Amino acid sequence: MNSSRQYLTLFLEEARGLLQEAENCLAALGRDPAGADSSHLHRTWHSLKGMAAALDLAPLVSLAHAAEERIPAAGQDLALHSQRQVLQGKAMAAAGAYLAALQAGDPPPDLTTTLAQLAAPLAAGITQAANAPHHPIAMPSAVRVPVVELDALLGEVVDLEARLTHHIRSGERSRADEQGADMRRGLGRLHHRLARLRHIPFSSIVPALDQLVTADARRLELQATLEVQGSSQALERGTLSLLAEILPHILRNCLAHGIESPAQRRRAGKDASGRIVLMVQSRRQHVDVMIEDDGRGLAASILADGAAASQTASGEREHDLASLMSRPGWSTARQSTEIAGRGIGLDAVRTRLAVAGGTLHIQRRTPHGLQVRIQVPSTLAVTRCLVARIGRFHLAIPLHGLEGLEALPAGGAPLTTTLEKMLAGNAPRNPQEPVLELSMRGPQGRLFRLHVHQVLGRMDTVIRPLPGVTTTGALMGTALWQGRVPVVVLDPAALYQLMPEESDGPPSVRREDPPRGACPAAG
Amino acid sequence: MNRPRLLFTVRGHLLALPVEQVMRVRESGPTSPLPGAHTAIHGLAACFGRVNLVLSCDVLLASGAGQVTVHDRPPLWIVLAGAAEGLILEVCSPVSFAAAGRPAPRPRGTRHLCHQGEIHTEGTAGLLSCRRLRAAVRRHAGPLSGFAMSRDLAQ
């Protein structure tokens, strides 16, 4: 390897690391435009510019320089901040593509368009609706635990440890079953107590929801109030986090499509201020959430238009409203706004719920308004996964993402190595090994298939993040199979996004669009 | 504050870790591969009931110097705690425990992992930085686990 090639290798490694850190910084700015520090973005582009100049990579130098000029800053007009964030994302994507081409030895991509976008003047006060930041509701990062609970937990652990020690020392094989059952009972109690510690009252996210309704109503020149019933109920953290993710979409839909302007409401004999009621009911296996508004509801004519536009049979029944309304791109809004009307929200909600094992139902209310009912599992802390092997990799796939399993003949069609390339590049594989085909569901209900060599079993597990790595790719995290074998947990939706649109020959992973007329988000 | 260090060697470099960041020093064990990871990450290992990433200090230091060579697997693991919990370092041999040494410039070739040097009786040691270790993990973790870059690499 000559010295310039050596330096290029080092450069690529360092540049990728810098970009990755910059992307984390950009994500932090998206979450907290006012508070996050953007100085790291400056350093990143500056370092990249310097390194690229040393290698005489002029287009990359220009890109880094232009991106440096468009760093979002704290205290900036929100619209400018948002546009700069979008431009930063584009610059990073372009730089990533440039680096990938350099690594592959391909001709570098043309950066002219990105450079022009970066150089174009920005206008304060104008946001691109599709890219307007939606600040996620922050979940509490800590839980308060009463000392008495901790004492009880400690007592369980000490008791379990003492019994385990006794069983080991006594070594009575004849009582092994009895002792095993005793241990399982003890561990079950411990599991239950620990799970209870993860519960957080629903009221912890109510102020943020309330604020969202007030702010968005003001932007839409409406009046609306949010009334929450059952807010004192404690929900498992994962379940609450899921609700915090999807409820803003639904509340925005209520405001944008349901609640009328004060004048319209007065003409209809209603109070000038619209009312949205959110009811939470925790049950044994699931949590019911119902959102009702007293707005205009959905006129039959709009439904018929929507059904016709979606090329489906007319005459949707009442209980199928969710299927119709959550089709990608279907919206009752005549004009898209920053808040709603792009036909994305409900589709995203339904897909997200389906992946988590939840459901969405929408009904018309009599005499007016809409009722949205959501059902989510009472706990998302423990995920049920299928454990499989591909080559030498052990992988877990959440069962919610799986649709079916089919065995293919051994030595049949050779696998192209799309997934295996993604996994390792050269995973050893026996071509005569039988192959199992898993049908998986990606975003918007699209099916794709994944070939695995062996299904090892099923497990309930707590998925943990990969230490030191931001697991925002196709890996959800890690888990231990049978308490001793590390497995990586795949995120089917993210994996689908990584798949090439088409591949030559019989693929190891195939994408498939849903059949025409079928509901893509039907789950 | 005089916080003790664990001193050890890798590729002829003397390195130091504050002992509060060391959970256990043990013999190396079996690992499972991490999809897409580069050679600096040997794989995943189950330890203390959780999945840990096994990092090769050897390769991390070598990649910093631009010379990656494959050696026999080092015989020891340092299971990290605190800010670096979930990471395991593969090392050649521990040297000793020592009190924190006087600050010194970083030894040559340790820039990727150490933020400063320390003078000890055994020589100048590079003081490992958890932040740099995590940055190294992100660099080497590979296309399936990366942030945004993954898509370009996967295609």
3-state class percentages of chain A: helix first, strand second, coil last, to nearest 5: 45, 20, 35
- For chain A, percent of residues with pLDDT exceeding 70: 67
3-state SS, A348-377, equals: HHHHHHHHHCCEEEEEECCCCCEEEEEEEE
Determine the pLDDT at residue A182: 79
Nearest to A488 among B34, B63, B86 (CB): B34
User: Distance between CA A92 and CA A113 in Å, rounded?
Assistant: 14
Chain B interface disruption, residue of A4, A7, A40, A422, most B CBs within 10 A: A422
The complex's ipTM works out to 0.79
**Looking at chain B, which residue has its C-alpha nearest residue A500?**
B155
Q: Provide the angle, in degrees to the nearest 10, between the axes of the packed helices A39-54 and A78-104.
A: 30
Q: Does the structure show a pLDDT above 70 at A183? A: yes
**Looking at chain A, which residue has its C-alpha nearest residue B112?**
A14
Q: Does the structure show a pLDDT above 60 at A335? A: no
**Sole residue written with tokens 């080559």:** A391
Q: Does the structure show a pLDDT above 50 at A508? A: no
Average pLDDT over residues A283-291: 88
Q: A21 to chain B: which residues are within 8 Å by CB?
A: 135, 138
Chain B interface disruption, residue of A157, A488, A496, most B CBs within 10 A: A488
User: Distance between CA A484 and CA A223 in Å, rounded?
Assistant: 57
Structure tokens at A295: 């707005």
Q: Does the structure show a pLDDT above 70 at A305? A: no
Average pLDDT over residues A251-260: 86
CATH 1.20.140.150 fits A3-128, yes or no: no
Average pLDDT score, chain A:
73
Determine the pLDDT at residue A409: 57
Determine the pLDDT at residue A424: 46
Average pLDDT over residues A283-307: 73
User: Distance between CA B53 and CA A110 in Å, rounded?
Assistant: 38
Average pLDDT over residues A117-145: 60
Confidence of residue B17 (pLDDT cuts 50, 70, 90): very high
Query: H helices within A397-436, ranges in order?
Result: 418-423
Determine the pLDDT at residue A123: 52
User: Distance between CA A448 and CA A151 in Å, rounded?
Assistant: 49
- Is B53 within 8 Å of A468 when comparing Cβ atoms? yes
User: Of A172-181, A292-301, A422-431, A435-444, where does mean pLDDT reach its minimum?
Assistant: A422-431
Instruction: Using the CB atoms, write b or e for A241-262: b if 16+ within 10 Å.
Output: bbbbbbbbbbbbbbbbbbbbeb
Q: A511 to chain B: which residues are within 8 Å by CB?
A: none
Range of the domain at B118: 5-154
Q: Does the structure show a pLDDT above 80 at A158? A: yes
User: Distance between CA A403 and CA A440 in Å, rounded?
Assistant: 5
Confidence of residue A46 (pLDDT cuts 50, 70, 90): confident
Nearest to A20 among B52, B63, B138 (CB): B138
- Is B51 within 8 Å of A464 when comparing Cβ atoms? yes
Average pLDDT over residues A278-303: 80
Q: Show me where the domains of chain A are located.
A: 3-128, 147-197, 200-377, 383-512
* Of residues A455 and A170, more confidently modeled: A455
Tens of pLDDT along B33-70?
A: 887 777 788 889 988 778 899 988 888 887 544 444 45
Number of domains in chain B: 1
Average pLDDT over residues B7-25: 88
Tens of pLDDT along A210-236?
A: 888 888 888 888 889 999 999 888 898
Q: Does the structure show a pLDDT above 70 at A472? A: no
Query: H helices within A401-517, ranges in order?
Result: 418-423, 492-498
Determine the pLDDT at residue A521: 28
Q: Considering only CA atoms, which of A320, A333, A328, A331 is closest in space to residue A362? A: A320
Q: B153 to chain A: which residues are within 8 Å by CB?
A: 100
User: Of A342-351, A504-513, B56-65, where does mean pLDDT reach its minimum?
Assistant: A504-513
Contact in structure between A358 and A376 (CB atoms under 8 Å): yes
Topology, domain A200-377: Heat Shock Protein 90 (3.30.565)
Task: Say whether A200-377 and A3-128 share the same fold.
Answer: no
Average pLDDT over residues A285-291: 90
Determine the pLDDT at residue A222: 87
* Beta-carbon pairs below 8 A across chains A and B: 132
User: Of A37-41, A255-259, B135-139, where does mean pLDDT reach its minimum?
Assistant: A37-41
**Looking at chain A, which residue has its C-alpha nearest residue B64?**
A10
For the whole model, what pTM was predicted? 0.55
* Of residues A465 and B122, more confidently modeled: B122
Q: Does the structure show a pLDDT above 70 at A337? A: no
- Is A468 within 8 Å of B87 when comparing Cβ atoms? yes
- Residue A114, C-beta contacts closer than 8 angstroms, at least 6 positions apart: A63, A90, A91, A94
Average pLDDT over residues A302-310: 48
